[in-house]
Chain A
Amino acid sequence: MKTKGIPKYIVYLLLVICASIPLFFTIPVPGKPFDSSADTFKTLMALQPGDTVLLASDWTGSTRGESKAQMISVMRLLMRKQVKFALWSTADPQSPRCAQDTISEVNEMIKKEGGKPYVRWDDWVQCGFYPSSDVAINNVATDVRKAFGGKRDTDTAGKLRPVFESPVLEKIQKIEDFKLVIDMTASKTSDYHVQFISGKKVPLLFSVTGVMVPETNVYYNSGQIVGYLGGLKGVFDMEKMMEYGLNVPDKDGKIQVASEKVPDKIEGFPGKDNIGNGTKYYPTLHSALLLMIVLVVIGNVEMFKANKAAKKS
């Protein structure tokens, strides 16, 4: 039986209100990190200064709410740990620009907290955009020197040189020489990374959008990836772990962020600016989800009432 219910514009208005109001306040939200987030933190914190990471940035403005926040949190960690990275993209021609703009933003943050800003060529290189994600990722997995062989980037003197002459990639001969492969994605590139790279002897880490979490869980549960950041919750977890550490007791002996999956005690970056959009937007996610639950309940109550009325008549 059909019911009239709440008009659409009221539903939309309620969402606007619920999504906007929490943005004006700082609301501390408790929360235990997901196992996948804790594993991500552990893997990233295990990197040593001078290690090189292959970072695929496959997101654009459409998912910036989640993807950009994820990239900022991971970049902050990599830069604080002085880990070098080679950036590349396969999903969308806009992706390299989005990533570079984000790196510039994080560089400014690092400068503000007194850290050493990352220098292109010395600390990171841009390996460019490649069409056909499946073919490009297969090429990199098969022979990374051949796949990036034709790419050039600007050195610190302003000269264009092959990327393999840079301090970032000079020691890289094959995919296994990277300490970690990360794919920050909002598309199918994660599947191709698993397909072609998970079989190599290099750990694989993802940061994916909220809707990709169920399918990414399959790879995490099977052990094909070592961890992943899923949606806004992933960023929130990451920011909390960077702020309070993982399983680290505070002055009062209370553990702010605990994980049974990762029992190790891992220090974060206390005193640094760790809080970002994950923490800012998480209360908004709460209120929007709460609104959804309330509306689903109302919808069902309406249906039962209508069914009852129909039976009586």
Chain B
Amino acid sequence: MVFLLSKAPTQARKPIVWILTFVSGGVFVLFKYWPQPINFDKAKNLPNGPIESVGSLLNDLTSVFGTISQVLTAFMLGLGIFSILRIHGTRIAKQQKDWFFSVVLLVTMFSMVVFGYWDFHIRAANRTIDYDNAANWGFVNMGRDFLFEGLLQQMDAAMFSIIAFFILSAAYRAFRARSVEATIMLGTALLVIISLMGAVASGWDSAVDRIATGSNHDLLVNLKISEIANWITKTLQTPAITGIKFGIGLGTLSMALRIWLGLERGGK
């Protein structure tokens, strides 16, 4: 398809892409709205009548278009590699600012690719050996593990952990009771945070339990931190998030319609 597109006249490319988008999108829309036979087992039965036949055809087509979409997504990996090679290759060739970091990037990328595929090849060629057991590893398997588990995964975790420092610093500097709304939010957040601290929450709840039992006031049980946090979550948080998600859904739907109908800039 990419080859055909590259051979098509420039003016025809956008309409071709739009037609393909419209047809594939249309299959998914039709599949959702077309009545589907209940308990229909394709392996055992043939479709009964035109409605079931179309339903069955749409079912098959969604798989086909879904697979095409996945293949196209996989192409993005190649596009990404090409883009990295082009940008950083140029930077190294012209010895632009910080070109050394580009060398590090390309060397690490190729090391991972080489060790990854080499490890894959060894595992594929010796399928009877249990490579999940580290005792069976050779140099290449160890190299792959060092690069993936020893470096990439650890650096990934370290990068993500740094967020904790920013969250704490931001909480200290920005979480202030400047207005009534901010004070309500601050109080609510503190209650939810305390509810996550099992030791504190446990002590609070036990104290409320003791008071409630002693005073014979059942209503006091509602002052347990677990109950308060539960109420905040169910009564305030869930509807708010549902509303946000609903809004996002409507936005996504309108965006999808614009793309599907070719109304986006550069669509048709």
Contact = CB atoms under 8 A, between A and B. Distances in A.
Interface in B192-224: 193-194, 196-202, 205
Chain A, interface size category, equals: 35 or more
A63 B168 contact: no
Contacts of A265: none
A233 B173 contact: no
Contact of B159 (A29, A30, A62, A218): A62
Contact of A218 (B76, B196, B205, B242): B242
B237 interface: yes
Nearest to A139: B66
A136 B238 contact: no
Contacts of A64: 153, 156-157
Contact of A15 (B62, B77, B154, B165): B165
Contact of B171 (A5, A104, A296): A296
Interface string A271-313: 0000000000010011011111101101110010000000000
A43 interface: no
Given A61-B156, A62-B156, A300-B177, A295 B168 contact: yes
Interface in A230-275: 233, 236
Contacts of B70: 130-132, 135-136
A113 interface: no
A252 to B, nearest CB: 17
Interface string B125-142: 011100011000000000
A62 B148 CA distance: 13
Contacts of B178: 303
Interface in B51-99: 59, 62-63, 66-67, 69-70, 73-74, 76-77
A143 to B, nearest CB: 6
A282 B199 CA distance: 10
A160 B175 contact: no
Given A60-B156, A61-B156, A300-B177, A158 B127 contact: yes
A65 interface: yes
At the interface, is chain B mostly helix, strand, loop or mixed?
helix
A138 B66 contact: yes
B63 A215 contact: no
A64 B156 CA distance: 9
A204 B226 CA distance: 25
Contacts of A65: 157, 161
A159 B127 contact: yes
A157 B128 contact: yes
Interface in A64-99: 64-65, 93-94, 97-98
Contacts of B202: 30-32
A236 B168 CA distance: 23
B153 A138 contact: no
Contacts of B258: none
Given A30-B202, A286-B198, A218 B238 contact: yes
Contact of A214 (B168, B193, B199, B237): B237
Interface string B153-186: 1111101110011011101110111100000001
Nearest to B152: A61
Nearest to B128: A158
A131 B186 CA distance: 40
B4 interface: no
Contact of A31 (B148, B157, B171, B198): B198
Contacts of B175: 296, 299-300
A157 B130 CA distance: 11
A210 to B, nearest CB: 9
A136 B171 CA distance: 39
A291 B59 contact: no
Given A30-B199, A132-B70, A217-B233, A292 B128 contact: no
Interface stretch (A6-14, A44-52, A164-172): A6-14
B176 A299 contact: yes
Contacts of B127: 154, 158-160
Contacts of B155: 61
Nearest to B134: A104
Contacts of A97: 148
Contacts of B197: 285-286, 289-290
A293 B127 CA distance: 54
B206 to A, nearest CB: 9
A142 B59 contact: yes
Given A157-B128, A288-B164, A299-B173, A143 B156 contact: no
Contacts of B242: 218
Interface in A162-214: 173, 214
Interface of A: 5-6, 8, 11-12, 15, 19, 29-32, 35, 60-65, 93-94, 97-98, 100-101, 103-104, 107, 120, 130-132, 135-136, 138-139, 142-143, 146-147, 154, 157-160, 173, 214-215, 217-218, 221, 233, 236, 282, 285-286, 288-293, 295-296, 298-300, 303
